[in-house]
Every structure is written in structure tokens, then in C-alpha cells.
Amino acid sequence: MEGRRAIGWAARDTSGLLSPYSFNLRKTGPEDVVLKVLYCGIDHTDLHQMRNEIPSTIYPLVPGHEVVGEIAELGSEVKIFRVGDKVGVGCIIGSCGECSSCKSNKENYCTNKIFTVNGTYQDGTPTHGGFSSAMVVHQKFVVRIPEKLAPEQVAPLLCAGVTAYSPLKQFFNGSNKVLRVGILGLGGVGHLGVIIAKAMGHHVSVISSSGNKKEEALEYLGADSFLVSSDSAEMEAAAGSLDYILDTVPALHNIQACLSLLKIEGRLVIVGASPQPLQFIASDLIVGKKTIGGSFIGSMEETEELLEFWAEKGLTTMIEVAKMDYVNKAFERMERNDVRYRFVLDVAGSKLE
């Protein structure tokens, strides 16, 4: 079906300000589903792309890659979904399907993946995200939402949640031993990392640049300890205490101070996309046989696992729901860390035009 119109909110230049924007959805293929967008999470990556801080932004840019929707239409070859199903869409909506990554259920590392936002379809048209009334997505990149989960609660799991889940799953690797993990940064990804790691049964230390979030980290999120990275005495006392650190900070920050917290052969994995280079002293890695690595979101399989895990454990996200006309203010507040812990846009309940 061609010519279907959608209404979204788009950035048109590096100011990053969003305003209403009308566009055509791509043609619906036999393995595609058409979604009515219900909710969409707000992520720091959206802001970086809106401002062209992660080059190169294609304007007009419709952000949103934590999309919860209801299936409105099915392609002729779609058999696993039904009209009316509640589903989720994350950061990617396509891949080559032929490379080793795709064939090993790691399509998030495919070099020809198509991003939900600021990507390009095979026909050359730009992709548009979930800050819009509707989307067309290939069925492989859609996940069913368990009935136990409220749709608005699911949105942050589709990027922030699986971004934390994938490396934490690899850290723990089914171990029955209680491991000690540090979560660096307590924002959208960080707070979910704390919840997931605790639900997996491990000891969790939150590492933050100030003590402002200590009470909520310990009392509301269930962390076992809290370290202020700017407090040299605290950091020295905790030296060599952690098996792993998950670095969730999406801005320029000091990772050097955190390396001393790792045990011998400890690992620091970066999932926060700082637009500026991070620095460390190589000898601190060498003498402790420590490693610094990265992890990019998660696979479709891991996203499905996370949603089932969330439902099974009865977990909840900490969100603030807002209408679309509040979106620019929401980004301002997110940038100054004034949200606990994730904004979710009520797209279906908003006046988009």
C-alpha cells in the first residue's frame, strides 16, 4: 500500500528543536507490519542525532527508537502476528540477513543494518522513528509485548533496557556465583542496569559523580552500595572490589578513575555513546590485565528475552509520561538530568498536528 501519510515531530536543523511534520510511509511489503504508534521513549541518542552530534544527520529527522505500537495491518506473508497485537520496535529495523552476525542472531552488529532513526531503506528513502503516528516495519524487527506488561512501561526496555541487559547477560553468563558489578551513571540506561543486575541476583554498586542520587539508588532501586567518583577516599577504599563495570554515561567523563575499582582481569564495558573521546592510562590496564570494551544495544532475541524476564520477575521501569507538545521541554530536562529516569511520550494520546 502506497501513499499512506503519517504525522510526526521532526528536527529540521542543528538546533534540535522539534515541530510537526507530515511524511509518506514507505510501501508495505509482504513481510511488513503497519503499526499505530502508542508510546515512544526519549533517549540521549535522539538528542545527539537531532543536533548532528553523531554525524551525519538527515534532516528532517523524526526521532524515536523505543517504540510501542499496535498492529493495524499485516503484510500477506506475516503469520506470527495479528491485527491488534501490542508490539515493540527498537533501534534497528533492517539488516542484510546474510552475514555471520545476522546468521548468529547478532543482527545488531551487521555492517548493513538499517537504523530506525536516521537510517536509509534499500530504496534510498530515509527512515523515520516513533515520534510519529505510524510506522511500517519488517516483522523480523518487531517483538511481541507480554500481556503482563503495560505498554508505556515497555518503551524504555527496547533500547535502554536491552543495552544494559545484553552485556550484563554476558558478564554473568549463567553463573551461580554472586558477582560484583558497578553501574557507572544512574540515568535511563543506568537505572535499568541496576534493576536487571539485582534481579539476576548479583551485588550492585552505583558509581556517580555526586551523592545526589544515593538515597534513590539504595532505597528505591535496591543497589547494595553507592560510590561517589569524585571522592578519592571512597574510591580508594573500593579499589579492586568489582568484577565488571557497565559504563552508561552518554557524555564526556573520566573513566580512568573507575579502572582502579576493577579486580585483576576485570572488565569495563562502555554502552553510553559519548560524542567526545574518552581517555585512560594504558599501563593501568596492562598491569591489572583489565579490558575496556563496548556493547551495542542487543539482538532481537535478547530483546524478547528481556521482555519475558521483566514480566517473569514483575519488574517496573521508572518513567514520566508526557504528551508530544512537551517534547522539547522534556529534552531540556533530560539534558540537565531532571527526570527519574526516562521520559515516555504518549504519542497516541497527543495532538500531533
Is the residue at 308 inside a domain? Answer: no
pLDDT band, residue 273 (cuts 50/70/90)? confident
Grid look-up 502506497 returns 2
Give the up-direction half-sphere exposure of residue 125: CA atoms within 13 A in the CB hemisphere.
Answer: 9
Same domain assignment for residues 188 and 267: yes
Distance between CA atoms of residues 261 and 89, nearest Å: 36
The interaxial angle of helices 188-199 and 160-172, nearest 10 deg, is: 40
Note the pTM of the prediction, 2 decimals: 0.94
| pLDDT at 352 (0 to 100) | 95
Write the DSSP assignment of 274-316 as a string of letters.
-SS-----HHHHHTTT-EEEE--S--HHHHHHHHHHHHHHT--
DSSP type of residue 172: H
Mean pLDDT for the chain? Answer: 95
* pLDDT tens sequence across 185-221: 999 999 999 999 999 999 999 999 999 999 999 999 9
Residue type at 333 in one-letter notation: R
Domain count, the chain: 2
Question: Is the model's pLDDT at 337 over the cut of 90?
Answer: no
| pLDDT at 3 (0 to 100) | 56
Same domain assignment for residues 110 and 61: yes
Boundary residue ending a domain (279, 294, 309) = 294
pLDDT band, residue 122 (cuts 50/70/90)? confident
Same domain assignment for residues 82 and 105: yes
Name the grid cell of 299. 539482538
Helices (H), the chain: 44-50, 100-103, 151-154, 160-172, 188-199, 214-215, 232-237, 256-259, 282-286, 300-313, 327-335
The interaxial angle of helices 188-199 and 300-313, nearest 10 deg, is: 70
Provide mean pLDDT across the span 337-351. Answer: 95
Same domain assignment for residues 97 and 223: no
Same domain assignment for residues 144 and 277: no
| pLDDT at 139 (0 to 100) | 97
Same domain assignment for residues 19 and 134: yes
In which domain, by residue range, is 331 found? 5-159+317-346
Residue type at 190 in one-letter notation: G
135 closest CA partner among 4, 254, 235 = 4
Is the residue at 306 inside a domain? Answer: no
146 closest CA partner among 192, 86, 90 = 86
CATH number at residue 171: 3.40.50.720
Helix, strand, coil distribution of the chain in percent, nearest 5: 30, 25, 45
Give every CB contact of residue 131 below 8 A, 6+ residues apart in sequence.
8, 9, 10, 18, 40, 62, 63, 64, 324, 327, 345, 347
Distance between CA atoms of residues 293 and 35, nearest Å: 35
Is the residue at 305 inside a domain? Answer: no
Same domain assignment for residues 85 and 206: no
Strand partners, 137: 33
Distance between CA atoms of residues 214 and 205, nearest Å: 11
